[in-house]
A = this chain, B = another copy of it.
Amino acid sequence: MNGVNGPQNGQPHLDHADGQYFLTEAYKVILEEVLCKGTDVKEKVCDWHDPEELSALLDLELREGGESHHQLLQRVRDVAKYSVKTNHPRFFNQLFAGVDYHSLAGRFLTEALNTSQYTYEVAPVFVLMENVMLTKLRSMVGWPQGDGIFCPGGSVSNMYAMNVARYRAYPQVKVQGLWAVPRLAAFTSQESHYSLCKAASFLGIGLDNVFMVKVNERGCMIPEDLDEKIELARSQGAVPFLVSATSGTTIQGAFDPLDRIADICDKNKLWMADSLAWNPHKMLLAGLQCCVFLLKDNTDLLKQCHCANATYLFQQDKFYDMRMDTGDKSVQCGRKVDCLKLWLMWKAVGTEGLAERVDKVFKLARYLVREMSKREGFQLVNEPQFVNVCFWYIPPSLRGKEGNNDYQEKLSKVAPVIKERMMRKGSMMVGYQPLREKVNFFRMVIISPHISQEDMDFFLDEIERLGKDLYNAL
């Protein structure tokens, strides 16, 4: 190979053959380190280092000159080595996990084609594909007609919902701003995702105008309290416009009672069953990021709400039907292609295959709960409604001490210590958090269909191994 070690003809790294040679070598490293070792249960899920130490290991600094092919491949290897293996069967830390190789092929193809989703002209395949994908997802929700768009994250989808709901209620906001309309009020449950609050703040509505509706003991929105909060908002002079309900809350995986909430929204003419945020990068394994915002509306509300009619992209005298261009539905300009990975995976596995995967992780979650009940020291926060299994691990020294003054304080320290130990050991990853009056508990989420009952057994064994000496050590 000529020139792989540096500049050539005064034009650094502009030779396609050299570049492709490097890419193929890098591909082999990725295959070996991330996909083979990274999914091997005998390997660590993470190779933990504190920030200062990791900085020193990586030599991240950027310099005037370039590096050799050999050095760069070592960089690829190091990035892989010190990154968390989210494809690993012992990664339970987030609402994403595992790998689908067809999706991954779609992602590589997306990156290589490097285009933007905004016009049919530069993304003909992806504009058509996004439409098909949105139609399919809508049909599963029960909306044969409607609209939608792929967004960079579920939080952005929630912002879209809030903005479109606001536009439907008061279209003049787009032009005149919020000063032209009365104070608005949005509603969501105490256990909903924090993105609703971020959206309200970003969109100029303000956190105070998000009313947090109470949840029952299982984490589901209480419809009666929604009624009361709507009245409360009105009594304060605010105009309710949106209720955001959740199917599978972030921590407990709780399902809000959609039908009863929808009735209240209908009665009050509030936006709720009008749109949906759905993240196929979670349980469908499409890969980050793959998020859709779906609407029931088929009157072009989304486009009317967001359009700016930029002449340099959306020429009125195009030789094709410019309704194909999607850019004016978006608040972004350039928009990453996120549909191909989901589409290719769906083509590979079929709707049936996706359903089987989901069934499999539900079964594993039930298995885990059953096994927990056979062991001392595992206490569920609630009977799981979804694939989130929230529990406290009670070390032997704390068992039967629930009456003690310092029980809750000591219990709150158990999960952080176990978490630190598992990270430093690299044996697995699972999250924990407090929730209102409840002290720190683990949130186990079972997402990846690549895992097995043995992984569930290992999980319980490992929690015991890491925590059984507590709280003596605290």
A458 interface contact, C-beta 8 A: no
Q: Which of B50, B281, B310, B432 contacts A194 (CB 8 A)?
A: B310
Q: Shortest CB–CB separation between residue A86 and chain B, in angstroms?
A: 5
Q: Is A153 an interface position by the 8 A CB rule? A: yes
Binds B, one of A91-99, A265-273, A399-407: A91-99
How far, in Å, is A447 (CB) from chain B's closest CB?
12
Please name 27 pairs of A and B residues whose Cβ atoms are closer than 8 Å in the assembled complex, sorted by A.
A10-B356, A16-B35, A20-B36, A27-B27, A34-B112, A51-B128, A54-B124, A60-B129, A61-B132, A63-B351, A79-B109, A79-B113, A79-B344, A84-B123, A84-B124, A86-B114, A93-B121, A107-B111, A173-B204, A175-B206, A177-B200, A177-B204, A179-B183, A288-B334, A317-B440, A318-B416, A319-B416
Say yes or no for A144: interface residue by CB 8 A criterion.
Answer: no
Check B433–A315 contact: CB distance below 8 A: yes
Q: Is A7 an interface residue (CB 8 A)?
A: yes
Contact of B176 with A208 in the complex, beta carbons under 8 Å: yes
In angstroms, Cα B180 to Cα A65, docked, is 52
Expressed in whole angstroms, the minimum distance between the Cβ of A423 and any Cβ of chain B is 7
- Which B residues are in CB contact (< 8 Å) with A96? 114, 116, 334
**Chain A contact patch, size range:** 35 or more
Residues of B within 8 A of A71 (CB): 347
Say yes or no for A141: interface residue by CB 8 A criterion: no
- State the Cβ distance, A59 to closest chain B Cβ, in Å: 9
Binds B, one of A223-231, A293-301, A335-343: A335-343
Partner of A115, one of B49, B86, B178, B179: B86
Q: Is the CB of A51 within 8 A of B120?
A: yes
On chain B, the residues within 8 Å of A420 by CB distance are: 319
Q: State A107–B206 Cα separation when bound (angstroms).
A: 37
Residues of B within 8 A of A83 (CB): 113, 115, 123-126
Q: Is there contact, CB below 8 Å, between A80 and B54?
A: no
Q: A312-B251, A317-B440 are in contact. Are A13 and B348 (CB under 8 A)?
A: yes
Chain B: minimal CB distance from A333 (Å):
5
> Does A397 belong to the interface (CB within 8 Å)?
no
Within 8 A of B (CB), among A204-255: 204-209, 250-251
- Is there contact, CB below 8 Å, between A20 and B31? yes
Complex Cα–Cα for A104 and B89 (A): 27
Whether the pair A348, B67 counts as a contact (CB closer than 8 A) is yes
- Which of B60, B111, B122, B202 contacts A84 (CB under 8 A)? B122
Ranked 4 nearest A-B pairs via Cβ: A204-B204, A177-B206, A19-B101, A12-B353
In the complex, A360 Cα to B340 Cα: how many Å?
34
Bound Cα distance A54, B131 (Å): 13
A residues 22-73 near B (Cβ < 8 Å) are 22-24, 26-27, 30-31, 34-36, 38-39, 46, 48-51, 54-55, 58, 60-67, 71-72
With A11-B360, A120-B51, A288-B116 known to touch, is A203 a contact of B206 (CB < 8 Å)?
no
A179 to B55, CA, bound (A): 45
B11 touches A76 (CB 8 A): no
Check if B306 sits within 8 Å of A435, measured CB to CB: no
Residues of B within 8 A of A16 (CB): 35-36, 39, 101, 450
User: Which B residues are CB-close (under 8 A) to A62?
Assistant: 132-133, 136, 343, 346-347, 350-351
Contact partner, A72, options B124, B334, B348, Cβ 8 Å: B348
Say yes or no: is A190 at the interface (Cβ < 8 Å to chain B): no
Alpha-carbon gap, A202 to B360, bound state (A): 41
